[in-house]
Amino acid sequence: MDLKTFERLKKNYGNYIEEAERLIHQDKPINQSRSVWLDREKIQRLLEQTDPKTGGIKVFFGQYDEESLSGFEAPVNAEDYKGRLTVILAASNNNEDPTEESQLVNFGKTCPPDCG
């Protein structure tokens, strides 16, 4: 992918999500997630659970709510993440859904607030 396309896709998402937040939450739109960063160790741990030829990472999209934030591992205020979008990475062979907790990773650095 070239950088121009990358920037356009990010801009399209930003415009879409800002409009959606204004429509949904009107007077209190959520400063929605723009990216999620996960460290190499977590990604490598997932890849090690997959077959060298058919394995990969399956990406799921999710949204934090009060219940899902009860196990929040990051040293941040969990309330800041309520209603925010996230990604969940899963170790996967042949695009299969995960069947064990060890196949799942979440709680990366979400931007905002951690935009590095």
User: Backbone phi, then psi, for 84, in 5-degree steps?
Assistant: -85, 150
How does pLDDT run across 2-46, given as a tens digit for each residue?
899 889 999 999 899 889 988 988 888 888 888 888 889 999 999
Task: Give me the pLDDT at residue 56, please.
Answer: 94
What is the C-alpha separation between 98 and 108, in angstroms, rounded? Answer: 19
DSSP helix/strand/coil, 31: coil
What is the C-alpha separation between 54 and 68, in angstroms, rounded? Answer: 31
Element (H, E) at 11: helix 3-25
How does pLDDT run across 51-89, given as a tens digit for each residue?
999 999 999 998 888 888 776 665 567 777 888 888 899
pLDDT at 112 over 90: no
- Is residue 88 within 8 Å of residue 51, measured between CB atoms? no
How does pLDDT run across 43-53, given as a tens digit for each residue?
999 999 999 99
- In the chain, what are the domain boundaries? 1-30, 33-111
Confidence (pTM):
0.81
Residue with tokens 């899902």: 68
